[in-house]
Amino acid sequence: MVSHVGILPSDVIDSLVARLNVPDEQSGLRFLRLPHPRTEGRTENIHIGGTDRSTSKRAVMVHVRGRSGGRSVIYVYDTQCVLMKILDGKLLMMTPVDPAFLLARILKAMMPKEGVVSNFRPADDIFEDAVEKLVRSPPASPNPKDPSTQLSENDLNRFLSLDCARSALKRVCETKEITPEIMVYRYSQEKFVETLKVKVARLAIPALFESSNTLIRGLAKDGLMEDGKEALLESGRMRAACDLVSQYIAPDVYNALLASYDFATLTVYLKGLDDEATAQAASRMDKVEARESTSSSAPANEKKRKGQAKASQGVEKLKKANTKGMSKLSSFFQAKSAS
């Protein structure tokens, strides 16, 4: 059995340690292969680890990082983590992920054709339809023989049965209460965008950006950290936060998220930077081409000058002689007129 190094959130580690001596069928900890929330691909080696329904409030996304060829490494993560051995050179990074991202991707794949409005339905009916369309009658796969592109009915049912998935319905769907016991749902991209905007607002706070050198460098590169650009800086943080969220949503949802903000001033400013950079690049290219043209013409001129042989002293004296009143040399070869 191949082992991997795993980097996990501390609370997940606590849960794992508490369940080390519990049989798998009782622990409730499983890895589920689900559709990636951003790409059109089936899974892209993204797995979700969930707990049992009664306690599951979150999910963990596993990112596989590695290279071909195996090697052994002993890695310790924090003082709470046990030693783990890696044999094939891969590193597993587990990060918390909002189940709403995963659920939205599943519900979006079930949407009817454009222009057709779906109906409000109970959660169980929606989930049963998801299993039917995504597993039993899935769309054509670009690599049907690749097992990593296949979606397991057990995995999908397991995820949809988790409390975290059911509670996420309210963050991605419109709801109607039929009776106190019956709630019906309909996927709404507008509702999902509103949920995303809450996340963007949390990510865009200055304290978070100041804790990330990467985010600060991105803002500074565009000159947004300079004095007098506070409004642009705020827009820049919001746009960067949208880009962070975009890693977990489909491209059309990302475009709808951007359209919900007024980035007009920031867009004009950034376009001005791009135009200035383009002009500077063109100017540098013109200078390079001018230098190359000068360099290429210099040898030809030098060769031309060397090809012109210097005249002898006698010829130079003849050039200076007074030829006034003398007949041209060609006149001696002309026919004489008859007298």
> For 80-108, how does the pLDDT look when each residue is reduced to its tens digit (9 = 90+)?
333 334 445 566 666 778 889 989 988 98
Do 202 and 256 sit in the same domain of this protein? yes
User: Residues 126, 248: one domain?
Assistant: no
Tell me: do 95 and 216 sit in the same domain: no
Listed residues 219, 239, 268: the one ending a domain: 268
Average model confidence (pLDDT) across the chain: 74
Let me know if residue 52 belongs to a domain.
Answer: yes
Domain annotation covers residue 19: yes
- Give ∠ CA 142-110-128 in degrees, rounded to 5: 110
Q: Domain containing 95: what range?
A: 5-71+87-112+119-138+151-187
Q: What are the tens digits of pLDDT across the range 251-300?
A: 999 999 999 999 999 999 999 988 988 888 888 888 888 887 777 665 65
Residue 246 lies in a domain: yes
Do 233 and 197 belong to one domain?
yes
Angle at 87 between CA 84 and CA 92, to 5 degrees: 60
pLDDT at position 104: 92
**pLDDT tens-place string over residues 110-151:** 887 766 778 899 999 999 998 888 887 766 655 656 655 677
pLDDT of 26 above 70: no
Got the DSSP string for 173-234?
EEEEEEETTEEEEEE-HHHHHHHHHHHHHHHT-HHHHHT-HHHHHHHHHTTTTSTT-HHHHH
What is the chain's percent helix, strand, coil content, to nearest 5? 50, 15, 35
Query: Could you tell me if residue 92 is inside a domain?
Result: yes
How far is it, in rounded angstroms, from Cα 270 to Cα 247?
Answer: 22
Number of domains in the chain: 2
Average pLDDT over residues 61-73: 48
Distance CA 19, CA 42 (A): 30
Token duo for residue 236: 């820049």
For residues 108 and 22, state if they share a domain.
yes
Mean pLDDT within 222-245: 93
| Domain annotation covers residue 228 | yes
Give domain status of residue 324, yes or no. Answer: no
pLDDT score recorded for residue 177? 93
User: Does the residue 303 lie in any domain?
Assistant: no
Q: Does the pLDDT at position 14 exceed 70? A: no
Query: Is the domain of 171 the same as that of 213?
Result: no
Q: Indicate yes or no: pTM above 0.75.
A: no
Residues 235 and 181 in one domain: no
